[in-house]
Structure 1
Amino acid sequence: MYTNILFPIYEELLHLDKNLKKMIGAKNPILYAAAEHLFDAGGKRIRPAIVLLVAKATNKYKIISHEQHRLAEITEIIHTASLVHDDVIDECSTRRGVNTVHKTFNTKIAVLAGDFLFAQSSWYLANLNNLEVVKTISKVITDFAEGEVRQGNNNFNYKISIDDYIEKSFYKTASLIAASCKGAAMLNNCNENVQNQFYLYGKHLGLAFQIIDDILDLVGSNISLGKPAGSDLKNGHLTSPIIFALEENEYLYNLITREFKNKEDTESAIEIIHKTKALYKAQDLAEEHIQAALNALNNQYPCEACNTLKLLSSYITNRIY
């Protein structure tokens, strides 16, 4: 289904895959191998796809410029760098169906590979020669760090609110999608109102994407997640379904307080969450953000690219089924 949705930019995404490895071009063979390892594992390329679609939607002739192609590639490199660091912090052993970089090499190489990818993305970003785009995208890298610190500070904190969770999710996931959408519109010299509309589209789409990911962590398989199911829970990341479940079942407090120390604690927690309305409430929250994303598009761009952006919204919520 996903591949069918992106048919209008199929060629562009093939070109992007070829370019990613050329762009990392590390002189050090170990660094290159570590970065290449992740790109070989694939991934859905949702973020660059959105950039390419916004680029088309905001261009009178539906043409994607060289700079916008490059922005799509930069977006994927930044995302990939963040995954390398996330996997180290969360001690994940698999990602996208293959061993993580730190599992294949070691933690030191993984941290350096993530740093290297961030540095490469910054270099290519500077070469876009557009100061406003540079400012917009470079803030994302600081947002990642902010999100990671907030998440770490709230591990096993059962007092975390939905607002705290949404704010952390913005920093960790939605910020990149929002900024890259705005950047694509900026490169077409769109006015500030149009830039902000696409920023809001990306922000709400990113938040919905994260909420669905968090639901899948409790109901999905390793294949649909790209990482082991239940890993967020084990690491003490209290996501929206868990926050909602805490409102209904107090026994969850005991499991969280003892940090799932007992062998069966994680399974017990998942079982409790399934017996509450938490998953439905989290799904409703995701739907609210999808609706906000669609409202931001506001039917002002009647074209194939914009229709595809709308279809992507449906795809994101349909990943549960």
Structure 2
Amino acid sequence: MTTVAELLQPVESDLEDLLSNLRVLIGAGHPILQAAAEHLFSAGGKRLRPGIVLLLSRALSPNGELGPRHRRLAEITEMIHTASLVHDDVVDEADTRRGVATVHSRFSHRVAVLAGDFLFAQSSWHLANLDNLEVVKLLSRVIMDLAEGEIRQGLYRFDTGQSLDSYLDKSYRKTASLMANSAKAAGVLSDLPTTELKSLYEFGRLLGLAFQVVDDILDFTADDAQLGKPAASDLASGTLTAPVIYAMEEFPALSGLIEREFNEAGDLEQALALVHQSKGIARSRELAEKFSHEARACLDFLAPSEAKSALLDLPGFVLSRLY
């Protein structure tokens, strides 16, 4: 199976520069915040989001070269993503991410919240210094979406009345908004016309939704090591995803187990069995395939290039995580 590193090979050196620059950009005066930030950027990860920005920026460039504003946009994208992960881990009370201790488990909840806030503040500062109001609006919208998505997830816990549309709206805010708006921002910095900007936005939106649906399927089909967190942890915490929403349509009894928050012995195991017996996972896979197929079509306007080829392979890579 193709790896993320292989897909991002055309911008491998750009991503190395990005990590070096991030360490300079987040150079805070406070040693604890500095240590927390260093821990974050040393924890590995796919760097998929800044990689998409860099690939698009190269694909849009007449000579395939990157300008400083496109590089900075990729750095801001990674800052925003990392800040959101820190806050998510605090809310979810997760001890590890990607097999590495989370910031709050290594330092404290207070330091983690401050480190996340600091990264959001840093990203906003560098965003303003791009001197492009449209890009500022796009990435500011992302920060609002991330916060609202996390709030909605909390409000919808164990809520069996939520629809697939509400699930997708929350998924857009938590995952796809950053991909969609940073992709569009790369186009804005390249002075693209409105129709092509819309195509870039749609590419990021659809890819992000496919990515989230696949993640939610893996919560039921992968093991703890593959996920980097306990399997079925979303359902156990009351977060209802596509496989569960589909499964509730087939097995109304599943709703009753969820509504009583798995308070009785064997409730969670019974709920998991019902999800696996249902067509929920298969239907979710079809949904992810639909999003991935539509995402590829959004890049038809790009001229042939190594970067475009890598971008076209991304939707297939997202789906390949299921097999």
Q: What's the TM-score, normalizing by structure 2?
A: 0.96
**2:275 matched to which residue of 1?**
273
Identify if the C-alpha distance between structure 1 residues 271 and 14 changes in structure 2 by more than 3 Å, giving closer, same or farther. Answer: same
The aligned amino acid for 2:17 is H
**1:295 matched to which residue of 2?**
297
Q: 4+ residue runs of structure 1 moved beyond 4 angstroms?
A: none
C-alpha separation in 2, matches of 1:163 and 1:210:
14
Q: Contact 2:302–2:308 (CA<8 Å) still a contact in 1?
A: no
C-alpha separation in 2, matches of 1:288 and 1:302:
24
Q: Contact 1:230–1:266 (CA<8 Å) still a contact in 2?
A: no
SS across alignment from 2:229: coil
**2:219 matched to which residue of 1?**
217
Name the % identity. Answer: 51
- Cα offset, 1:42, TM superposition: 0.9
Q: Contact 1:222–1:228 (CA<8 Å) still a contact in 2?
A: yes
C-alpha separation in 2, matches of 1:94 and 1:154:
24
**Among candidates 243, 246, 249, match of residue 248 of structure 2:** 246
SS across alignment from 2:298: helix
Structure 1 unaligned blocks of 5 or more:
none
User: Matches of residues 34-73 of structure 1 in structure 2 within 5 Å?
Assistant: 34-73=36-75
CA deviation map 1:25-76 (0-9, x unaligned):
1111111112221211111000000000110111111111111111111101
**2:96 matched to which residue of 1?**
94
Moved more, 218-227 or 107-116: 218-227
Q: Contact 1:5–1:312 (CA<8 Å) still a contact in 2?
A: yes
**Among candidates 194, 197, 201, match of residue 195 of structure 1:** 197
- Cα offset, 1:225, TM superposition: 2.4
Moved more, 17-26 or 94-103: 17-26
C-alpha separation in 2, matches of 1:32 and 1:298:
43
Q: What's the TM-score, normalizing by structure 1?
A: 0.96
User: Matches of residues 72-91 of structure 1 in structure 2 within 5 Å?
Assistant: 72-91=74-93
Q: Contact 2:59–2:302 (CA<8 Å) still a contact in 1?
A: no
- Cα offset, 1:108, TM superposition: 1.3
Q: Contact 2:244–2:280 (CA<8 Å) still a contact in 1?
A: yes
C-alpha separation in 1, matches of 2:28 and 2:228:
26
SS across alignment from 2:191: coil
